[in-house]
A = this chain, B = another copy of it.
Amino acid sequence: MSTLLHDLRTIVGEAHVLLAPPGDGDALAGYERDWRKRYHGRSLCVVRPGDAGEVAAVVRRCAREPGVSIVAQGGNTGLVGGGVPDASGRQVLLSTKRLRAVRRIDVDNQTLTVEAGLTLQEVQAAAAAAGLLFPLSLAAEGSCTIGGNLSTNAGGTQVLRFGNARELCLGLEAVTASGELWSDLQGLRKDNTGYDLRDLLIGSEGTLGVITAATLRLFPQPRAGVTAWASCRRLRDAVALMRRLRADFDAELVGYEAMNAASLALVERHFPALRAPLPTAAGAPGWSVLVELASAHAAPALRERAESALAAALEAGEAVDIAVAGNEQQARTLWQLREGIPLAQAAEGLNIKHDVGLPLSALADFVDAADAALEAVAPGARHITFGHLGDGNLHYNLQAPPGADAAGFLAAHEQAVNDCVYELVARFGGTFSAEHGIGRLKRGELAARKPAAAVAMMRAIKTALDPQGLFNPGVLLPD
């Protein structure tokens, strides 16, 4: 083992192999504990290679060490524990944070090639500096890395228009389990020469390879934007409004977020400076919708069209009230209301989270059914339901009843609530993990709910590409 550490130091340099000082198990907590603090492992060491060649050398060296495996980690902002080591002390935590080069920006090709350790915000900034847009956008963008975004196929608030991380990536560079560096960074929009290895690695949560760089697809910066808020009586009205806006705006509709009344009440409670621009629809469940439009056109035309489409939605009864942001500051406030929900939930205390995806046509029925069923399973719980309605992706979360002990609520109800929610998700043709992935948290769900034929193919692929189980064992695949 001391030979392993010696060799790793030789590869990456003394300063970049980190060990917990004896007696101080928490010095590496930033690496070993996940962001939600649900998992706290212990690594053999943390290794921080400085370039892709060093990553490959680290992988080759670890592969020779019996019983040692590798957990790759970017910004450590994942929500399912996929990027932290287990408790064995036999996992090398490979941090990609020193892979920080912007390798190339190609304005004519509208592509950007970056290394895995840049934060999402830095990637956005590199695109913006060239007058272009990298549209992936999510709450953790200041600290999550682009390598992590790709390993987990991150989603966020503009998937409706631009797709997940997967759709924004034209090519990868990655180290395979045999320690080879595979590179596909040409920036081609079309390349039908064999199996789609890129998409296989994307979303594989570090179990098939270590992503070291990526070539990303860029877009023109929009010239106008409109942010609007609509108050709807029922979720199905919000779905109808979405359909209207798709027909009227097509790809100019870039974001469509929905929030139930309880979500906004929680935000207003914890962030008194934030107030929803419209009252919740009276005498109805009451849903608020945040609409984001962006266009290559000049601003006045887009705003006029938005106002006219929303007026038509009012007339059709899809919305009962609307507000269009009058300036940047107002638009930002509307987004802060939406983004405040998870923060308000955290401030309110432990809660039971779900990240479900459903066909848009089944979304409202699912929520009705789940709300009703959970009254028996977790009586009095507050249903904090919000998310990326345009993608059929809701964060269907449960908060303890007002005044109840949150930890006790979680311990008492989590399993039964999950079972109930995931049963209903399956019945309505949905998924138990729309954007957060599997990690360590949802392996059981995957084993129980993914079709056996799919799990068999996944296992076969894992064994084929990583026969000794070097990459992230205990994550994604069931035992």
A204 to B477: give the CA distance in the assembly, Å.
24
In the complex the two chains form, what is the Cα distance from A386 to B202 in whole Å?
Answer: 33
Rounded to whole Å, the gap between the CB of A465 and the closest CB of chain B is 6
- A211 CB, nearest partner CB in chain B, Å: 14
A190–B451 touching, CB < 8 Å: no
A437 within 8 A of B: yes
Near B by CB (< 8 A), chain A positions 429-479 give: 429-438, 442, 445-446, 449-458, 460-465, 476-477
B-chain residues with CB within 8 Å of residue A161 when the two chains form the complex = 251
Question: A14-22, A295-303, A333-341, A343-351: which lies at the B interface?
Answer: A295-303
A219: CB under 8 A from chain B?
Answer: yes
Q: How far is the CA of A161 from the CA of B162 in the complex (A)?
A: 11
Considering only CB atoms, which chain B residue lies closest to A297 in the complex?
A: B305
Contact of A438 among B192, B438, B455 (CB under 8 A): B192
Verify A192–B457 contact, CB threshold 8 A. no
Once the chains are docked, how many angstroms separate the CA of A305 from the CA of B167?
29
Which of B429, B446, B464 makes the CB contact (< 8 A) with A461? B464
CB-CB under 8 A from A328, the residues of chain B are none
Q: Which residues of chain B are near A166, meaning CB under 8 Å?
A: 196
Q: Out of B220, B361, B438, which one reaches A109, CB within 8 Å?
A: B361
A62-70, A151-159, A311-319: which lies at the B interface?
Answer: A151-159
User: Of the 9-residue stretches A25-33, A241-249, A269-277, which lies at the interface with chain B?
Assistant: A241-249
Query: Does A137 reach chain B (CB closer than 8 Å)?
Result: no
- Does A191 count as interface, using CB distance less than 8 angstroms? yes
A279, chain B: closest CB distance, angstroms? 27
Can you list 24 A-B pairs, Cβ within 8 angstroms, ordered by A? A109-B360, A109-B392, A155-B190, A163-B167, A176-B453, A176-B457, A180-B452, A188-B430, A189-B357, A190-B435, A191-B431, A192-B434, A192-B436, A192-B437, A193-B432, A194-B450, A195-B200, A196-B204, A199-B200, A200-B200, A219-B250, A220-B247, A220-B250, A464-B464
Q: Which 6 A-B pairs have the closest CB atoms?
A: A251-B251, A464-B464, A108-B361, A199-B199, A460-B464, A182-B453
Chain A contact residues, CB within 8 Å of chain B: 106-111, 152-153, 155, 159, 161, 163-164, 166-167, 176, 178, 180-184, 186-197, 199-200, 202-204, 208, 219-220, 222, 239, 243, 246-252, 295-297, 301, 305, 357-362, 388, 391-393, 429-438, 442, 445-446, 449-458, 460-465, 476-477
Q: Known pairs A189-B393, A194-B454, A196-B204. 19 more at Cβ < 8 A?
A: A107-B361, A108-B359, A108-B361, A155-B192, A176-B457, A182-B453, A190-B391, A190-B431, A191-B431, A192-B435, A193-B433, A193-B446, A195-B200, A195-B462, A196-B199, A220-B246, A251-B252, A301-B301, A461-B461
